[in-house]
Chains A and B, each alone.
Chain A
Amino acid sequence: MSIGRTAPALMLALALAGCENEDEPFQKAWVLLPPVALESTAAYVERTNATVFLLDPADPALRPAAVRIGADPVLAVRRNGHDELLVLTQGAPSQPGVVPEEATLTVVPGARGQAGAPRELTLPARFNTLAQSPDGRFVVAFFAPGTTQTPGAALFNPNEIAVLDLDAPPGTSAVARTVRSFGGVPLAVAFSPQLSLPDGMRSLAVVLSDNYVTLLDLDNPARSEITVPLTLTTDIRNRRPTQVLFETSSHEPAIYVRADGTEDIYVLRLTAAAERAPGANDFTPSLSQLTAGVLPLDMALVGDPEDPRLLVLAASGDAWIFNARTSQQTRVSLAEPGVASQAAPNRIFLFEGQSPAEPKARPRALLLGENTGRRNVTFVDLDGIEEQRTKNLDLRPMGAAVARTHFFPAQGVALVEHAPGSGSTGFSVIDLVRRTVAPIVASIALGGIHVGPADPGGPARMWIAPAAGMSGLDTHLSFLDLDSFSPGDVRLDARIGGVMPFARDTDGKLRVLVDHGSATGHVTIVDGDAPDRATARTARGFLLNDLLQREVQ
């Protein structure tokens, strides 16, 4: 036998025995949802591997806790009023070699040390968005407008929704409903506070669709929904509801709806149902309309909650005050004296506080015109506005027009970003008590603006991230002391993606987490009391901690 002839064939056969062809881990791209700030942790959700990472900025090792959740998370938000993360997952559709998984709403505790005990609630469909009540008790999952398909399904019903009560005992299922449709789909969901209804205090959900709204009794989700058309069936004009307010009076509460494309404000007064079948709703909406004769731009309920008035900004540059019960209405001109033509304010910001002339805290409003070119701000003393009218207005000039407003009533300030080319670059800080408008010049385009939770013992400070794509200064975290309006900044080592100021921790430290937008996790922790590069610390690739011990795609 010749070695020279047999050996190569033998070697090739042995080498080929090592060949393999199978799916490999670590081969799929990782996708992070936008990080979410919880009470004391930052939550990062990685879609590909369906994992929530909770990063505690006080942890010296900056090593996140990992929690596995259902497949394909598409949305993560903080649960209102709770230190919990809500994650909407679409599950896994049936495919060859893939075990199907149902869609879920997963509730992940955010408090440090409690990771690992998520609560999963199965959903009847693969929804892609949700809305939650202000207290975080109720969640409505639905399909976002414009959704054209759901994963792995040939058909889906865009009017299907699921109502979940997160305070219900374990094992309670989501209630699946199909919203009665007149050709529209849910655009958004508004939640009422507790309303005094005939059978007792309860909350309602108002589903907004083009040309109609739908009322759902959240405490009795099996009851039929109530659909309220905003137009006649013969009217082809589109009314898109954009704003909903709730009057919480103890006698016949009401819902106010403002819609694009109409000069009317719709008032749905909730009266006791005259005839009631078993299991039917105990209330019925009585529709009326308030009209100022011109397009309403914004509205707010002011005054006594038992007998509130509706403050409406109109496109004519007037403010209207309506009493919906008496139909009494008052017009107050917001025009600057001596100025012939000026843009109308289109945003109302309510607050309670002192004024330069009055040390007593009273209900007041700040009126601004966003993206209108208006270059002044208007303070309104709401007490007695119907009688005093323009005497209750206080107009203050501003150097440039407003592009966007950030309102921080707890800190007593509003920050307005100026539109590029409007006369100033940067922003102005409005002191709600002193009624000053202080310009701050910025050499960068502004990105996110953040104020941490109110901290009576600490500095009131606003944190400003540069806009994406700002070369040169995109690594600078800017801040502004709200007491002195003194600005400063800290240079960091990477481009800034997001900023999360946390409440003062139990160790007495005030921390600000700066996210650098990396798919493998990169943050810098800055001392919120004394922001300085020297005291900052960073964690690069922190989502890779324990990577070798996880099942990773």
Chain B
Amino acid sequence: MIARTLAVTALLLGAPVAIANAVETAATATAPTRPVPFTVAVEIQSLYGRSSAQRLFSGGGTQATAGLSASYDLVRPGERFTVALGAGWLYEENSNLFGSGDHADLETNSLFAMATARYAIFSWLEPQVRLSANVAESRARLGLADGTTLRGDDMSYGAGLGGGFRLRTNLIRLRIGLPDVAFSATFEGGYAFGSKLGLRLSPPRPDDDALASDRIPGASVGLGTLDRSRPYFRTALAMHF
């Protein structure tokens, strides 16, 4: 899991920088004198939930999410200071084998809003702090070795606070007539606070109505609560225009 996350992260991190380098060679680089307030980004987060409960679904203690975000530089009180507001979507999927060949999956879709305060030390280096809030829907699935499948879902709410820095390229004038753009990579560590998920699972209803009505009614399984609070490390690969 960790190796897979690292490989994907390295690939995703390396590619935009390589693209930026390639564009730089084919385009004319300009100083960042003109503001580029709009940002779209690919988000990658590694979350370090180390509790036993979190490891039912993630095994090794690290969970990975990916998603998209967009933000707008709302205020620029000075040449170097920026406050941005944004929103995005993150998808998290964890799976793990446990017990006697049983399988646990947890899929979470979350929508988040964020506010970022950034200070440019150099044109390419901007330390930042970020505050975010999110609402998430999680779907758990257990595939048991005896052939039973149990499913359940729950909603949760959360917030996050983190700090890091952004590495940004100069404005790049593209030859194809589009506006000038800049690229950046943001690295941020922080802590995500989340309300607990209450997971109650039961066998899914068969698609066939005849089978569904013939089924012996069953008790659901109260798997317990899953704490979503955990440290995170975020990487965002962004384009600014």
Contacts and interface: CB of A to CB of B under 8 A. Distances in A.
A166 interface: no
Contact of B98 (A8, A27, A31): A27
A476 interface: no
Interface string B82-100: 0000000000000011111
B124 A520 contact: no
Nearest to A551: B52
A61 B219 contact: yes
29 contacts: A7-B185, A8-B14, A10-B187, A11-B9, A11-B10, A11-B13, A11-B14, A11-B185, A11-B187, A15-B46, A18-B5, A18-B233, A24-B55, A26-B56, A26-B99, A31-B100, A62-B219, A516-B146, A518-B145, A518-B148, A520-B146, A537-B219, A538-B217, A539-B218, A544-B221, A545-B221, A550-B224, A552-B56, A552-B98
Contacts of B233: 14, 17-18
Nearest to B2: A19
Given A26-B98, A493-B216, A548 B223 contact: yes
Contacts of A519: 99-100, 102, 145-146
Interface string A1-19: 1011001101110111111
Contacts of B34: none
Contacts of A502: none
Given A3-B124, A11-B187, A518-B148, A544 B142 contact: yes
A546 B55 contact: no
A404 B203 CA distance: 39
Given A19-B2, A29-B100, A540 B52 contact: no
Contacts of A538: 216-219
A547 interface: yes
B224 A29 contact: no
B110 interface: no
B167 A7 contact: yes
Contact of B221 (A11, A541, A552): A541
Given A12-B10, A25-B56, A544-B223, 13 more contacts: A3-B20, A3-B124, A11-B13, A11-B187, A14-B235, A20-B62, A24-B60, A25-B55, A518-B145, A540-B221, A541-B221, A544-B221, A552-B56
A524 interface: yes
B225 to A, nearest CB: 6
Given A494-B146, A544-B142, A544-B223, A537 B99 contact: no
Contacts of A320: none
Interface string A513-553: 00011111010100000000100111111101111111110
A529 to B, nearest CB: 18
Q: Which A-B residue pairs are the 7 nearest by beta carbons?
A: A548-B224, A26-B98, A548-B53, A518-B146, A62-B219, A11-B13, A519-B100
Given A20-B61, A542-B221, A544-B223, A15 B148 contact: no
B219 A493 contact: no
B48 A8 contact: no
B42 interface: no
Contacts of B20: 3-4
Given A10-B187, A14-B233, A493-B216, A546 B222 contact: yes
Given A18-B233, A26-B56, A30-B100, A518 B144 contact: yes
A63 interface: yes
B219 A63 contact: yes
A445 B101 CA distance: 30
Contacts of B102: 519-520
A542 B104 CA distance: 15
Interface in A437-491: none
Contact of B144 (A4, A8, A540): A540
B67 interface: no
A14 B234 CA distance: 10
Contacts of A516: 146
Nearest to B202: A540
Contacts of B225: 548-549
A279 interface: no
B28 to A, nearest CB: 17
